Structure 1
Amino acid sequence: MAASQRLLVMPDDGAQAVVDWIDQAQSQLLLKQFKLQSEAIEQALLRAQQRGVRIRVMLNPHTSGGDRWNDEAFALLQGWGVEVAWTSERFPVTHEKSMVIDGQAALIATFNLSEKYFTETRDYGVVSHDPRVIEQVMAGFDADWERRAFEPRLDVGLVWSSVHSRGQMARVIDSAQESLRIQHPKFVDAVILERLVAAKQRGVKVRVLCGGKHGLSDWDVYDTFSSLRL
């Protein structure tokens, strides 16, 4: 594999980019997903199952508001004989969206595997062939699958929620010397807001893209707009 990383950009690359990637799997596929509602992805998983790929899927059981998006996909995969489980009860929700193919490449994405995210929303995914990244994503998957604690290494370029992510992101922001470009729907964390203000005060050019109320829970709207005014 020539490139160590590949960027997927949604909605430009669309579902087919992910389908093509799943279709490359020969021996093993690990999938952890917040929302699975794409027939194209489900059919790609079925094809992989039929050609003998061992597939393990973890789906988040419900949103923080209680919506159960994945019940239908769970039953469908289970009916096909795919190994499928709910994500770990250690977390109120598992928002991770990752996939590992044959232990050779890992996809870490902001997009759900749902038609909306392939056609309407701006999202990104990074396909990494870095062995350290792949090993860590697989280790995190196995820990959640087996319902045990996981302590990630923090020196391989991945940011892990929930315990480590605030400090990791603060250090990234604090390292900026010239510019910060930030694209995010919500700004509700005081520590991160303080680090952004401090970056601006030390002369860093800070630019922020926010989609307004789109995609925000009702309880996040006021904090986000207060932060944006600051």
Structure 2
Amino acid sequence: MPDDGVDSVVALIDQAREQLLLKQFKVESEAIEQALLRAHQRGVTVRVMLNPHTSGGDRWNDEAHARLNSWGIEAIWTSEAFPVTHEKSLVVDQQFALIATFNLADKYFTETRDYGVVTYSAPVVAQVIAGFEADWHRQFFQPDLGVGLVWSSFHSRGQMARIVDAATESLWIQHPKFVDAVILDRIITARERG
């Protein structure tokens, strides 16, 4: 993003025939909402979890939450176990998952540099589904740390440290802010070892 635009995500939603699971920090796109409605109208079971507010208290998703529910789409707020659920995932028919850095809001399809990974790896897709179901049912989620996904908030620092520590030749990092002292220390140590 923004090169691929909203149509790339709409095309993924339009592939759903049985089930669509969406967990999202922010939904503010008519094209996405209409794609969800089309899926619901063709008989797809659509479940949506939206983050209720930002860490600063802004409530971005109230309108989308109300609109989806008024259409008969099951939309709930993300788990209260976390101050913010920042996850952005979409699972279609238990076959593939989109894991993305971008919100499903028009701004992210036109103005920001973001990306998403579409995976067909069965263990990864199953783990995204398990995380969705745990949050949907307000249960603790214990991911398999060997699958390759880095899950916050309980496991992310250790997993990220292991990734940095495993680097032998190069380490390319793209992140909007570095504030974690443990990870910063690991990055410095990686640079010092060459």
TM-score between the two structures when normalised by the length of structure 2: 0.99
User: What's the secondary structure of 1:179's corresponding residue?
Assistant: coil
Question: Which amino acid in 1 is paired with 2:145?
Answer: L
Asked if 1:159 is matched to 2:150, the reply is yes
Counterpart for residue 41 of structure 1 = 32
Asked if 1:148 is matched to 2:139, the reply is yes
Unaligned runs of 5+ in 1: 1-9, 204-230
Counterpart for residue 164 of structure 2 = 173
Unaligned runs of 5+ in 2: none
User: What's the secondary structure of 1:195's corresponding residue?
Assistant: helix
Question: Which amino acid in 1 is paired with 2:74?
Answer: E
1:100-155 CA-to-partner distances (Å, cap 9, x unmatched) read 00000011110000011111111111111011011111111111111111100000
Counterpart for residue 93 of structure 2 = 102
Question: Which amino acid in 2 is paired with 1:41?
Answer: I
Structure 1 runs, 4 residues or longer, greater than 6 Å off: none
User: What's the secondary structure of 1:116's corresponding residue?
Assistant: helix
Identity %: 73
In the TM superposition, what are the counterparts of 1:113-132 in structure 2 within 5 Å?
113-132=104-123
> Shift in Å at residue 180 of structure 1?
1.1
Counterpart for residue 72 of structure 1 = 63
1:30 to 7, 18, 21: 21
Rg larger in structure: 1
Q: Distance in 2 between matches of 1:105 and 1:33?
A: 16
Question: Which amino acid in 1 is paired with 2:10?
Answer: V
Q: CA RMSD in A?
A: 0.5
Aligned length in residues: 194
